[in-house]
């Protein structure tokens, strides 16, 4: 095997990096994952994820982890209620969405990020993940790379794979192409103990998610397994929204006042969302890599997930793309089809960029649809046709 006697460094311990580590270890590869978190409990994990049959689920199947996933996912959390800005229900799939059927493309089981990460971590060999390794830089050494970390340690690897997210520090070693602003900013907010803190919205979620649309803006909510409600206020605005508005991200009163002005046409029933929020809330300008990006493949360096193709979240493909990347890269690196590591990386990157470009275009198109004047009707039509 072309990976014999080669040390592989995966930088970043998110779903994509951990999935790749698991898949490569099943093939006998020597893998280390270098993660900046101090330990596996150091960071609160974000919004829930829904996995798709031909990407996230396919990767879990290949990793022999589907049965463990079935124990950890949250049945019913993928169900959707869609409303207009007045809170009037326009669409619900709570009675029509497919039940548990992992061979059905329409079944998209949802899992919190924390349990998914733990599932993947527990599948790895002991000491695979090296914690407290915040990547700083690397340089070529012999036929590989010497990596430097913020804690002063170094590590040598014959092959380096960047799985370090949208702000990847390894990507510049491959390309100087940068993401562009999509024109949309999302404000991430959470409400602990949603059943008590937002009782009316909690009831409307019915254990699943809400999408609300009106006047070129939208509101997206989802319940987490710990009872917390996470939601995003999403609108078209300038890239420097946070600086221009000078809102104190620790002030729920300021956020509510901004909402009343910016979402002026929206019903006051939504104001409940601001009464018991956890602070700080987080503005997130949404970026996308150019759809035609290209770089020359290197013989021992590549990347996956957001490090390769960050895109808007409006197709629900982020984690699925990362896990699909991991699946394909592991297959290219361990199959006999490609003679050298360089050949394998070249084939993987060519396919990955093409696949990502198509999904990115879909995400951009959905973003436009979701923030259009007629978004509610357009989204109801789209989801009704998917059933």
Domain hosting residue 219, numbered range = 180-288
- 345: in domain: yes
43 annotated as belonging to a binding site for a ligand: yes
22 annotated as belonging to a binding site for a ligand: no
171 annotated as belonging to a binding site for a ligand: no
Q: What is the pLDDT along the chain (387 residues), one digit of tens a residue?
A: 789 999 999 999 999 999 999 999 999 999 999 999 999 887 665 678 999 999 999 999 999 999 999 999 999 999 999 999 999 999 999 988 778 888 888 889 999 999 999 999 999 999 999 999 999 999 999 999 999 999 999 999 999 999 999 999 999 999 999 999 999 999 999 999 999 999 999 999 999 999 999 999 999 999 998 999 999 999 999 999 888 888 899 999 999 999 999 999 999 999 999 999 999 999 999 999 999 999 999 999 999 999 999 999 999 899 999 999 999 999 999 999 999 999 999 999 999 999 999 999 999 999 999 999 999 999 999 988 776
61 and 30, same domain (yes or no):
yes
Tokens in use for 315? 């197709």
**What per-residue confidence (pLDDT) applies to 4?**
93
152 and 301, same domain (yes or no):
yes
Complete edge-to-edge strand list for the sheet that includes strand 159-162:
129-130, 30-34, 7-11, 159-162, 301-303
Q: CA-CA distance, 116 to 190, in Å (whole number)?
A: 20
217 and 321, same domain (yes or no):
no
172 and 220, same domain (yes or no):
no
CA distances from 163 to 10, 99, 122, 304 (A): 7, 33, 19, 6
Please answer whether residues 300 and 141 qualify as being in contact, where contact means their C-beta atoms are separated by less than 8 angstroms. no
- 385: in domain: no
Q: Which residues pair with 210 in a beta bridge?
A: 81, 221
126 and 218, same domain (yes or no):
no
Q: How many CB atoms lie within 10 A of CB 173?
A: 17
- 216: in domain: yes
31 and 152, same domain (yes or no):
yes
53 and 190, same domain (yes or no):
no
Complete edge-to-edge strand list for the sheet that includes strand 80-84:
89-92, 80-84, 209-214, 217-223, 229-236, 180-191, 278-288
50 annotated as belonging to a binding site for a ligand: yes
User: Of 288, 313, 347, which residue sits at a domain end?
Assistant: 288
**What per-residue confidence (pLDDT) applies to 106?**
82
Q: Which of 62, 94, 26 lies closest to 327, judged by CA?
A: 62
57 and 166, same domain (yes or no):
yes
137 and 233, same domain (yes or no):
no
119 and 249, same domain (yes or no):
no
CATH number of the domain where residue 255 is located: 3.30.9.30
């Amino acid at each position: 095997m072309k990976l014999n006697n080669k040390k592989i460094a995966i930088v970043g311990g998110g779903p994509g990096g951990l999935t790749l580590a698991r898949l490569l270890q099943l093939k006998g590869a020597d893998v280390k994952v270098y993660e900046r978190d101090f330990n596996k409990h150091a960071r609160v994990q974000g919004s829930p994820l829904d996995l798709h049959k031909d990407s996230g689920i396919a990767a879990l199947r290949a990793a022999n982890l589907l049965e463990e996933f079935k124990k950890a996912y949250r049945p019913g959390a993928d169900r959707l209620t869609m409303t207009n800005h007045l809170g009037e229900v326009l669409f619900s799939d709570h009675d029509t969405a497919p039940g548990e059927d992992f061979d059905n493309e329409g079944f998209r089981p949802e899992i919190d990020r924390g349990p998914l990460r733990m599932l993947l971590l527990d599948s790895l060999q002991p000491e695979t993940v090296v914690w407290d390794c915040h990547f700083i830089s690397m340089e070529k050494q012999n036929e590989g790379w010497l990596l430097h970390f913020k804690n002063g340690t170094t590590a040598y690897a014959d092959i380096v794979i960047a799985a370090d997210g949208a702000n990847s520090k390894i990507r510049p070693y491959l390309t100087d192409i940068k993401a562009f602003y999509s024109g949309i900013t999302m404000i991430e907010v959470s409400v602990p103990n949603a059943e008590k803190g937002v009782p009316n919205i909690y009831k409307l979620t019915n254990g699943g998610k809400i999408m609300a649309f009106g006047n070129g803006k939208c509101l997206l909510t989802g319940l987490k397994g710990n009872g917390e409600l996470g939601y995003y206020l999403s609108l078209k605005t300038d890239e420097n929204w946070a600086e221009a508005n000078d809102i104190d991200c620790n002030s729920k009163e300021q956020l509510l006042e901004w909402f009343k002005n910016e979402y002026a046409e929206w019903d006051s029933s939504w104001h409940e969302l601001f009464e018991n929020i956890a602070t700080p809330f987080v503005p997130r300008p949404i970026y996308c890599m150019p759809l035609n990006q290209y770089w020359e493949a290197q013989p021992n360096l590549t990347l996956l997930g957001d490090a390769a193709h960050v895109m808007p979240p409006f197709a629900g493909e982020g984690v699925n793309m990362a896990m699909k990347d991991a699946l394909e890269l592991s297959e290219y690196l361990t199959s006999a089809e490609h003679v050298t590591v360089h050949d394998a990386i070249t084939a993987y990157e060519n396919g990955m960029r093409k696949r990502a470009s198509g999904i990115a275009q879909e995400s951009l198109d959905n973003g436009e649809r979701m923030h259009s004047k007629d978004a509610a009707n357009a989204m109801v039509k789209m989801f009704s046709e998917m059933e």
